[in-house]
Amino acid sequence: MSSRNPLAGLNGANAQTAQYFYERSFEWRKHMKRRIPALLAVLLTVTVSFGGLASANAKDATQLNDLEIAHVAYTAGVIDIRYAHLAMALSQNEDVRKFAETMLRDHTAVNVQALALVKKLNITPQDNDVSRELVKNSNALVAELRTLDGAAFDKRYAGNELGYHRFVNGALEKIFIPNARNSDLKALLKAGLKVFKVHQKHAEMMAKAVN
């Protein structure tokens, strides 16, 4: 497996914390070795067009442990923060900008809680193929979004946010939360899901407003 930093493409306010997660990645396996059942293979059969998972290896999915689940969840938040920064920079639409501001606030808050849990447990979330695939596809989407402006940007951003939240919420509810072994991690994921379901409803309204 490559030693290249898979979060190198992430910029903005969360770059430092993303780098922190990567730098300690080689310490993770000695803390928690719990394996997730084969249900996680479902996650890797999903193909999405909104900058999330495009493809990966089902074998890798079945081997995710709690630390890897934590890394995927954190990475998904960092990615949406990145999309929000882009929307704030490129959109003039009031609905889009309000939504992006909410994403910046809420996902940053959830990730701060995740960092607090990491320190409490004295562990480090573990990089994995799922996280790398998320980052890879988000980089492609960001490159696409940067070529758009006006209504075209707003529609693409809104459509992606709706699809992204549907996907992430489904993965949390049906896969990660049921299979997380650590009680603190499970509680954090449940709290995040409540927030992200509200985001999904807001994304639905935003998508209708820009179409």
Q: What is the pLDDT of residue 79?
A: 96
pLDDT in tens, 76-103: 999 999 999 999 999 999 999 999 999 9
* Mean pLDDT, range 167-192, rounded to an integer: 92
* Mean pLDDT, range 146-171, rounded to an integer: 96
The domain limits of the chain are 15-210
- Calculate helix-pair angle for 150-171, 94-121, nearest 10 degrees: 30
Of 3.40.50.150, 1.10.260.40, 1.20.1260.10, 3.90.650.10, which CATH number belongs to 15-210? 1.20.1260.10
Q: What is the pLDDT of residue 174?
A: 86
pLDDT in tens, 36-70: 333 333 343 333 333 344 334 333 444 679 999 99
Would you place residue 11 in the very low, low, confident or very high pLDDT band (cuts 50, 70, 90)?
Answer: low
Task: Using alpha carbons, select from 190, 23, 58, 180 the residue that is nearest to residue 130.
Answer: 58
DSSP annotation of 26: G
pLDDT in tens, 130-154: 899 999 999 999 999 999 999 999 9
pLDDT in tens, 185-211: 999 999 999 999 999 999 999 999 999
**Sign of the Cα pseudo-torsion (58, 197, 122, 3, in order):** positive
Residues 6 or more apart from 122 whose CB is under 8 A from it? Answer: 31
Q: What is the pLDDT of residue 36?
A: 35
